[in-house]
Structure 1
């Protein structure tokens, strides 16, 4: 039996999971780190924190399993990692949920035009993408910009340190807004327009290709008794999709993580210039996917927990429960519609469908009778309305909808989403998401499976199904219309103030 590690470099922690070649999770370890917010709207992380967390989690696994065949890397997308000619980190990484690049978004639109950018990259000009972040450094930190020798994404920095390979793969690179997704190469037109040296960008490869092997001296430090390979891996959403079996155009993945993502594979010929959702490359060769994103998904619920649930935190410690289980139970006492309270989950602006970096989180409908349980339910419902926004933009079809991520553990949240989308919601047995997805890629690279679809059929199993409650349709339809109207009522206010 061969063993594989899937590593997911997330927003709040890095998680490493050990799998056997049947996809069974045998052992896992995680290590948390802090988000750095030097100014309002600025969201950064120290890449060395990811590295320390990666080393800690691998070493925890190798205490018991020191012989590993292969490793897959998944990571938060869009983050900017900059190294100088001596491979020194030049600044903290500006990560995906940072909200400082509104002016750079406008600069890209002025110099190239939104329509032309979409023709090349598959997406409108997006403030959260890597290009806008790079231009912000150029405009605001020219002394740092002048020292750049390597431009990386978060997981690819970890790959570089582990293997020495300066490489990325297409699923993650397609979120940089520098990739020509149709020709599978960096866009000279975009790079030339902004004077970006193509040699500063990592080599492109397929997700199942081996990008390198753990540096022998580092392997010894990690507690390994052999030299495992590292595959290309995937951006977090493509990795989670594979880990949830989202391979075919009839499949839809909804991930309730720090961000909320609606993900649907498509073929190249189905990409249309007027698609209202974001388009990226999948971690499967020559397959693409459309994706709608709500920036403030799990981030909103964590924000609510951190700021309003001290009592629940104490109760959770006493009873050795998850604090979110307690919050969910209390939210259940609030009726469908949260007694008229509405929440816009735009803590860091919004991507889909508004592409608005100025939008902010908002509660509307507070009355004297409103209580904390209503607020908890309103947060869950508001995020679910944003997920519904994304889902409504997909090509009409009868999809198999799979729910995953930390939020999928809550019965109430699964029910709210089923009621809003008016369809069955599937949850699979495996809950490792992106870590399983990139471990599967490593298994394919090792020849355990012929391809990703072969692996899915043998590994992925359905755990349960949440059926929609038709009695709730009318209330949610009414509240969803109010939710949509609320954003447009406040849009001008957001930008002005």
Structure 2
């Protein structure tokens, strides 16, 4: 007898992860993954076909492991901001530019100067950086006009996989709110921002329909069903952004913070009301339940610890051990190795300060981990500064959270315990939550609460550490104090040219 199952998908920068879970209760049945092609900023691109092939491989592996199951619903969470350009026939025009591609920084800067940072915040909840989709659309027009002339549909990475499943151009409000041309507070596109790129293009016809979090994008079409080995009656959820799905997978509540240590670093909380940060540090994105997800993203996370592990000739376990053995003195790292998104410095590089002849390997390892951690602690401070409640539980997730040093140094920087949830893949779990809600006709938030994972363990600060002093020095070295009182750039045009 087969078990009714739902499938949650995490299509990230590095790989596609697939989880099969029981429709009734969310018990994990199987998990598998398949790699995506590696990328290297500043030019970070992938062929969307590679995402589809990785999804099919991971799906079939997990289905074989799950045994006798009937797949009732699928939902896909994906890396945010990426730009998938399609032509009139629905074919990919060129490789997708990803969130960590910084080549569109000049085009983005010109757009922000023209529209005005304040107006972007008022109309989209965020000041876009080079990561945002609107920057990449502007880049395409400026650098590849022959491809721009063929552009008929703009999709995000998770939209593209949904399109391959259903044949429908659809997205959701969480992922759409990272484009630079969607207002999550009104659940409406702002095509006038795209019109600043080209005022003759029919932008509204190019944008996918924005679906609410508990709605279906359709059922699986025949070609996709055959590739996956499932029925054409399988329901497909609206999907969402990866960090938004992880918050849902953890079942976080207002006041709780999630620090994600992956390819990028992210800190988020959830709130029922929209937030608007005129400094640009906090993105006022939508979540996957109908509310909002104040979010700060840094470009440099895994790359930093990978680099210092290589330089020190150790693996990540030894890097963690070295970092925890360090005393309270030694260098401080501004970890902007690949440029940075928050603060918005796409052309920056890393800076190791206070290096002396007495520096130790332990101190260097600790500086690397702190460089990642401190950047996100500043993000949490920026979220709190907007009036959001951040006094609840703190969670650490992602590959970097497997490092004891990362979690321990985070606890010390915050001065409070950090929880590790009993889930290896919160993004795929969150996507499965949405799939179950859509199949059952239930509220996504209710299923997320019911499926909230238990806490595996809590990591507390070590007494007597000088985390506050080191964090203060980091802020001096990284010159991030301007984020506390940054003034937005004003539009060159009168404000009435862009209606609210």
TM > 0.5 fold call? yes
Tell me which of 477, 481, 485 is aligned to 1:486.
477
* CA displacement 1:81-110 (0-9 Å, x = unmatched): 111122222111111111112211221123
Q: What is the alpha-carbon distance in structure 2 between the residues aligned to residue 345 and residue 327 of structure 1? A: 16
Q: What's 1:174 paired with?
A: 177
- Please tell me the root mean square deviation across aligned C-alpha atoms, in Å: 2.2
SS in 2 for 1:78: coil
Q: What's 2:319 paired with?
A: 327
Q: What is the alpha-carbon distance in structure 2 between the residues aligned to residue 277 and residue 420 of structure 1? A: 20
Matched, 1:355 2:339: no
Is 2:84–2:154's contact at 8 Å kept on the other side of the alignment? yes
* CA displacement 1:250-276 (0-9 Å, x = unmatched): 221111111111101122265576785
Structure 1 stretch displaced more, 370-379 or 155-164: 370-379
Tell me which of 367, 371, 392 is aligned to 2:356.
367
Q: What's 1:317 paired with?
A: none
Is 1:260–1:295's contact at 8 Å kept on the other side of the alignment? yes
Tell me which of 285, 294, 300 is aligned to 1:296.
300
Q: What is the alpha-carbon distance in structure 2 between the residues aligned to residue 440 and residue 489 of structure 1? A: 37
Alpha carbons of structure 1 residues 49 and 402: separation in structure 2 relative to 1, 3 Å: same
Matched, 1:90 2:93: yes
Q: What's 1:44 paired with?
A: 45
Q: What is the alpha-carbon distance in structure 1 between the residues aligned to residue 185 and residue 51 of structure 2? A: 32
Q: What's 1:53 paired with?
A: 54
Q: What is the alpha-carbon distance in structure 2 between the residues aligned to residue 230 and residue 269 of structure 1? A: 28
Alpha carbons of structure 1 residues 269 and 181: separation in structure 2 relative to 1, 3 Å: closer
Tell me which of 11, 16, 21 is aligned to 1:19.
21
Q: What's 1:494 paired with?
A: none
Tell me which of 257, 266, 277 is aligned to 1:252.
257
Is 1:345–1:382's contact at 8 Å kept on the other side of the alignment? yes
For structure 1, the 5+ residue unaligned runs are: 313-322, 492-497
The size of the alignment, in residue pairs, is: 470
- Spell out the pairing of 1:380-395 with structure 2 (5 A cutoff): 380-395=369-384
Tell me which of 266, 269, 294 is aligned to 2:271.
266
Q: What's 1:316 paired with?
A: none
Is 1:429–1:461's contact at 8 Å kept on the other side of the alignment? yes
SS in 2 for 1:199: helix
Q: What's 1:446 paired with?
A: 439
**Superposition deviation, residue 279 in structure 1:** 0.6
* CA displacement 1:230-264 (0-9 Å, x = unmatched): 10111011001111112x32221111111111101
Higher RCO, 1 vs 2 (CA within 8 Å, ≥6 residues apart): 2
Q: What is the alpha-carbon distance in structure 2 between the residues aligned to residue 176 and residue 448 of structure 1? A: 29
- Spell out the pairing of 1:308-323 with structure 2 (5 A cutoff): 308=311, 312=314, 323=315
Alpha carbons of structure 1 residues 203 and 448: separation in structure 2 relative to 1, 3 Å: closer
TM-score w.r.t. the length of structure 1 is: 0.89
TM-score w.r.t. the length of structure 2 is: 0.88
Q: What's 1:404 paired with?
A: 397
Q: What is the alpha-carbon distance in structure 2 between the residues aligned to residue 331 and residue 274 of structure 1? A: 33
Tell me which of 232, 242, 246 is aligned to 1:236.
242
Q: What's 1:210 paired with?
A: 216
Q: What is the alpha-carbon distance in structure 2 between the residues aligned to residue 378 and residue 456 of structure 1? A: 37
SS in 2 for 1:332: helix
Is 1:449–1:455's contact at 8 Å kept on the other side of the alignment? no
Q: What is the alpha-carbon distance in structure 2 between the residues aligned to residue 365 and residue 92 of structure 1? A: 42
Is 2:430–2:448's contact at 8 Å kept on the other side of the alignment? no
For structure 2, the 5+ residue unaligned runs are: 483-500
Q: What is the alpha-carbon distance in structure 1 between the residues aligned to residue 182 and residue 135 of structure 2? A: 14
Alpha carbons of structure 1 residues 429 and 224: separation in structure 2 relative to 1, 3 Å: same
SS in 2 for 1:11: coil
Q: What's 1:425 paired with?
A: 418
SS in 1 for 2:383: coil
